[in-house]
Structure 1
Amino acid sequence: MLKAQNSLGIIFFPAFDWAISPTHPERQERLLYTQDQLREEGLFDIEGIGEYKPDVAAIEDLERVHFLFPDGGSVTTRSHRISAGGAMKAADLVMTGERERAFAMVRPPGHHAMKVVHGSRGFCTVNIEAVMIEHIRETYGHKRVAIIDTDCHHGDGSQDVYWHDPETLFISIHQDGRTLYPGSGFPQELGGPGAMGRTLNIPLPPNTSDEGFLMAMERVVMPILDDFKPDIIINSAGQDNHFSDPITNMNFSARGYAALNEMLRPDIAVLEGGYSIQGALPYINLGICLAMAGVDFSHIREPNYNPEQVRQSSRTTEYIEELCSQLPRLYFDPPAFKSGKDTSQGILSGDTFVRHRQIFYDTDGINEVQQENLTVCPKCRGLLKIETRADSGPLCLGVEIPIDACPECRSKGYQLVEEGQLKGNYRYIQLINRLDKEYVRFGF
């Protein structure tokens, strides 16, 4: 009888009652075929591997992370909260020591959900990894966290949530944003003024195969992780880099995904994208599970896999080699954020960092405009203020007092909320006070 070297908990949630449309790629069959495959292969007969049910995240769990407008109940469904709760369950299994590793196979996905949420974009409404991470920090204390996002699409939502957090390392390996949604994820996107280098993007060219992905892992990701020394490693485990995926242009294999996880050794994996429902996901998920459990995965082989047909070109290899030679220095020696220099990433003026942004919620057809202001503080990570409006809707205000807030930033945060209430400029105001674990909202 096989035995897992690392005990593994697997959380399933197919979300039977949630779909964008009956034929949309992001539908319940994404997990149903996987569930059948894992049982047929006898995965749960391996000693040390067990299946668990998800928890249900409370609105407060979401409000630790997101400014939700008009409110959490309006923009999320129970399925979103169970998907986030499945990720939280995975975290609890690992943090309590019940399992050494955990894989949350849940949907809807989350890595395109940004700090502010007015609706769904990129099939995502709630950033389930971020909800999980902040649940860990709220429940188990301070942790340095590394998120390695291996979805084919840039994890722009996770990047946005942790743009100003020096204790969270976010690395996204994805198809070059010049060729795929959401059109972002370039090397110059490095984080806010207090967290430069804590965001790192690895945009790979179309038709990259196992060789290119594993090269980026070995030459860029692993040396940076060795230096950052996270307490927890999370794989934001999108699977749409597969050669058979219908909406992307990459050539990764199921065995390549398993090899990536064997190298990464994540504590927790959370399912993101992946839309080759029969030809890829059952085999990728099986490979990831075996790799996380420390069980041989060399027999994994999906239908229609021909290594020669999906091999990357020599030109692609040369491009990735050059990329891998240049990217590490952006983490180890990031450029200084210069005061007064207005860039696409924002402008630093005195002790205030400002970003003006336009965000399109492609799933719901919503246009958002927002202004983000961060107080750059020498004593803490700074007070965050976001003014936001969706389409022709009302102006809303979000204020976040950080988890390490100094007395000045804490006091200024309350002052911003009180001024917003008195002046009546905002239809909705939400306060996230991580220091005192206070999450409140006001509507007028």
Structure 2
Amino acid sequence: MPACQGPATVVFDQSLTEYDFGPDHPMAPMRVDLTMRLAADLGVLGAGLRQVAAPMASEDVLATVHDPALIEAVQRAAHDERFGLGTDDNPVFSGMHHASAHIVGASVEAFRQVWSGESLHSANITGGLHHAMPKRASGFCIYNDVAVGIQYLLDQGAQRVAYVDVDVHHGDGVERIFWNDPRVLTISLHETGQMLFPGTGFPADLGGPDALGSAVNVALPPGTSDGGWLRAFHAVVPPLLREFRPDVLVTQHGCDSHTEDPLAHLMLTVDGQRAAYLALHDLAHEVAGGRWVVTGGGGYAVVDVVPRAWTHLLAIVGGRPLAPDTETPDSWREHVLARLGRGAPHRLTDGRDPIYRDWSEGYDPDTWLDRAVHGTRMEAFPLHGLDPMP
């Protein structure tokens, strides 16, 4: 991996864990706490990765993407399904607007860090709330921090922003908000909407009439594991980013693609996810001068997966990747035991070697995976002047 070649930051303070839908909701803020503790105990924080404070997003900043009526409903903590509030996915809670706006503010700070040049890479692992729409909360996401951050870049003069979403769920909110804006390329790799929320994100979904090709979707079959996922990623993402040449690369890193995640059906390991993070880091340096904004996203295996995956991610953001077989510290495992009464993983690896067969080696139309990848290439590549065939 190329050297970081510049300062890196993570935007965080403990109060960001106040984004909390309650003890029975799958999106447990404990996953963030355990990640930051593991990263700290392993020396990731401070070792090339400086922690900076998370500001609050103002109503004016939120309104660059969101309708004032939604903002007002969130402020009232209204049980109003017109705005997606008070549902099983998005139950209202005390201080909801404050907690949600704080996550947006943290992400906008990460975007500001990178655009200003204060940081080459900057991360907000509490961000990545990619389902929220301009007028409606959706899928555990009240406000769309990623979209607000991308809009900030555009307002500051960015000409081209690329967004790559590796969450198991389609990044529908970010895609929809920039659907007809040719300055923003959104690429989402996700379990097919035939099987999984939000039921969208197919190869023929390509963007609005003024921005055809600005949306790219890879709808993966359930059961896809490291080799197939990485095959799909490398067949689609690098060629498009190399052609688009963004000013900034923005990535969303939901780790709910893991085989142990309870809400979806892909079968990646932490090792495969780490390989994706390394590839995106290298692409940021290749196509965007290293300017890389990183967010979290989904991930509901709160102890066994999220802290390990995102600690790898933060180490890569900081320019000092951790070896896959790194042991988790005794102090961290003791904290998990004391807090949750259960054991925790002893290593950062799942013991897999994430190898894959490159697309150039041939396309097999008898496999669902290859048909999915081929469909995306056939739909999207010609719109970027690229040859869709291997």
Q: TM tier, shorter chain? A: 0.7 to 0.9
> Contact conserved, 2:132 with 2:141, CA < 8 A, in 1?
yes
Deviations 1:356-389 (A, max 9, x none): xxxxxxxxxxxxxxxxxxxxxxxxxxxxxxxxxx
Shift of 1:54: 0.7
1:16-415 map, 5 Å: 16-46=17-47, 48-69=48-69, 71-72=71-72, 73-74=75-76, 77-106=97-126, 109-117=128-136, 120-138=137-155, 140-265=156-281, 266=284, 267-300=292-325, 302=347, 305-307=350-352, 318-334=367-383
What letter matches 2:63 in structure 1? Answer: E
Aligned-partner Cα distance in 1 for 2:69–2:240: 36
What letter matches 2:141 in structure 1? Answer: C
Gapped regions of structure 1 (runs ≥ 5)? 336-444
Structure of greater Rg: 1
Q: Which has the higher strand share?
A: 1
Please report the RMSD computed on the Cα atoms of aligned residues, expressed in angstroms. Answer: 2.8
Q: 1:70 to 1:28 in 2, by over 3 A?
A: closer
Q: 1:211 to 1:70 in 2, by over 3 A?
A: closer
Q: 1:80 to 1:317 in 2, by over 3 A?
A: farther
Aligned-partner Cα distance in 2 for 1:291–1:316: 35
Q: 1:317 to 1:261 in 2, by over 3 A?
A: farther
DSSP 3-state at the match of 2:133? coil
Q: 1:18 to 1:292 in 2, by over 3 A?
A: closer
Aligned-partner Cα distance in 2 for 1:283–1:12: 18
Aligned-partner Cα distance in 1 for 2:294–2:308: 16
Aligned-partner Cα distance in 2 for 1:125–1:273: 14
DSSP 3-state at the match of 1:147? strand
> Contact conserved, 2:271 with 2:351, CA < 8 A, in 1?
no
Shift of 1:282: 1.1
Which of 257-266 and 9-18 deviates more? 9-18
Q: Which has the higher helix share?
A: 2
Q: With structure 1 as the length reference, what TM-score do the two structures score?
A: 0.68
Q: What's 1:9 paired with? A: 9
What letter matches 1:84 in structure 2? Answer: V
Q: 1:36 to 1:211 in 2, by over 3 A?
A: same
> Contact conserved, 1:210 with 1:251, CA < 8 A, in 2?
yes
> Contact conserved, 1:5 with 1:295, CA < 8 A, in 2?
no
Shift of 1:146: 0.6
What letter matches 2:310 in structure 1? Answer: N
DSSP 3-state at the match of 1:50? strand
Aligned-partner Cα distance in 2 for 1:200–1:70: 28
Shift of 1:291: 2.4
Aligned-partner Cα distance in 2 for 1:321–1:74: 48
What is the count of residue pairs matched by the alignment? 327
What letter matches 1:98 in structure 2? Answer: E
> Contact conserved, 2:203 with 2:375, CA < 8 A, in 1?
no
Higher relative contact order (CA 8 A, sep 6+): 2
Q: With structure 2 as the length reference, what TM-score do the two structures score?
A: 0.77
Aligned-partner Cα distance in 1 for 2:158–2:35: 35
> Contact conserved, 1:219 with 1:324, CA < 8 A, in 2?
yes
Deviations 1:177-210 (A, max 9, x none): 1111111111111111111111011011112112
Q: What's 1:354 paired with? A: none
> Contact conserved, 1:112 with 1:156, CA < 8 A, in 2?
yes
Shift of 1:4: 5.6
DSSP 3-state at the match of 1:141? coil
Aligned-partner Cα distance in 1 for 2:366–2:318: 31
> How many percent identity over aligned positions?
28
What letter matches 2:370 in structure 1? Answer: E
What letter matches 2:192 in structure 1? Answer: D
Deviations 1:209-251 (A, max 9, x none): 1212221221111101111111111101111111111111111
